[in-house]
């Protein structure tokens, strides 16, 4: 059967040529997937940095913006970090993404490499579940000027310095004062990011369909400062009141050495990331597998 997707971009974890959790090197994995896509009648291109770092020069090469305007599917090979990076950059173009997991956890790259051919055969023929994930726009304001801005799929995190004590943060939501929090930091997470740093800091899991964010203090001085779920239409502002060497990170994008008076402003992005999953995929299946729920409990 002819593939539903004609022009497919392959994006890999190109920072290293080491083997992934599957034991297969990143280059070997990409080559195997390339050959498979060709047997399915797909016209395959390779993302520029992937091709350059892997030495895969026998296929057409496109940069991310060209993929966004020319391709109708992105196939991402690696772990969740790889998917986070490319998802943010392709969201504005609406290109759907499929994740093949060569990492260890794989909340959003959910197809095991060892099973990619079986899963992709059906998905390329239009048998898939579609899942949309929201994004955060964030910027750092200093003396009325924007000094840094970024888009995040997981979270925005304000942290204390590595060698200093707590930071004090003034938090506002939609212009309303919430609290001055003394803590090791504060996390604003999307539903996607609720299974990342926010979870390890005691935050709740948010289903991807919930139009909300979770705000989670990191080791707060006052234990009554608890995680709170907010609407993702909110405008959140976090001001640095005191504390040395505070930093802000937006997924893996960081700004160090925040100054007193700096404001990190968080709003909802107009774009979202489109993920495709195998037919029958369930978010709860992912949680059960990745968080090891039901271990030792007999199933029926």
Which residues does 73 contact at the CB level (< 8 Å), separation at least 6? Answer: 5, 7, 8, 9, 95, 96, 97, 98, 276
Q: How many other C-beta atoms lie within 10 A of the C-beta of residue 14?
A: 22
Alpha carbon distances (Å) from 84 to 26, 91, 100 = 18, 11, 13
Q: Is 259 exposed, middle or buried (0-12, 13-18, 19+ CB in 10 A)?
A: exposed
- Residue 80 designated active-site: yes
Whole-angstrom distance, CA of residue 248 vs CA of residue 244: 13
Q: Which among 80, 110, 131, 251 is annotated as catalytic?
A: 80
Instruction: Report the candidate in 131, 32, 42 with the shortest Cα–Cα distance to residue 77.
Output: 32
CA 130, 26, 85, 76: dihedral to nearest 10 degrees? Answer: -20
Cα 184-187-188 angle, rounded to 5 deg: 160
Q: Where are the alpha helices (DSSP H) in 93-191?
A: 116-123
Alpha carbon distances (Å) from 123 to 38, 225, 279 = 15, 45, 8
Q: Give backbone dihedrals phi and psi of 189, rounded to 5 degrees, phi first.
A: -120, 145
Catalytic residues: 80
């Amino acid at each position: 059967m002819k593939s539903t997707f004609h022009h497919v971009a392959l994006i890999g974890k190109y920072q290293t040529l080491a083997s992934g959790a599957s034991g297969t090197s990143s280059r070997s994995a990409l080559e195997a997937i390339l050959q498979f896509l060709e047997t399915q009648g797909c016209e395959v291109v390779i993302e520029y940095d992937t091709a350059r770092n892997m030495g895969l020069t026998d296929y057409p090469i496109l940069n991310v913006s060209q993929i966004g305007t020319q391709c109708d599917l992105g196939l991402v090979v690696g772990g969740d970090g790889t998917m986070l990076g490319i998802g943010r950059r392709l969201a504005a173009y609406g290109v759907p993404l499929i994740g093949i997991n060569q990492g260890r956890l794989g909340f959003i790259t959910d197809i095991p490499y060892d099973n990619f051919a079986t899963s992709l055969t059906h998905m390329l023929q239009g048998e898939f579940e579609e899942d949309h994930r929201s994004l955060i726009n964030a910027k750092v304001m200093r003396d009325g000027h924007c000094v840094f801005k970024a888009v995040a799929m997981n979270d925005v995190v304000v942290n204390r310095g590595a060698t200093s004590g707590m930071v004090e943060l003034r938090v506002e939501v939609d212009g309303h004062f919430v609290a001055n929090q003394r803590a090791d930091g504060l996390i604003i997470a999307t539903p996607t990011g609720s299974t990342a740093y926010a979870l390890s800091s005691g935050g709740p899991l948010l289903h991807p369909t919930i139009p909300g964010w979770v705000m989670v203090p990191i080791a707060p001085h006052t234990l009554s400062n608890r995680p709170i779920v907010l609407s993702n239409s909110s405008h959140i502002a976090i001001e640095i009141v005191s504390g040395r060497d505070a930093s802000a990170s937006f997924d893996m994008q960081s700004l160090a050495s925040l100054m007193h008076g700096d404001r990190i402003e968080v709003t909802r992005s107009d774009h979202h990331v489109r993920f495709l999953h195998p037919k029958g995929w369930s978010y709860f299946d992912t949680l059960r597998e990745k968080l090891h729920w039901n271990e030792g409990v007999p199933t029926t």
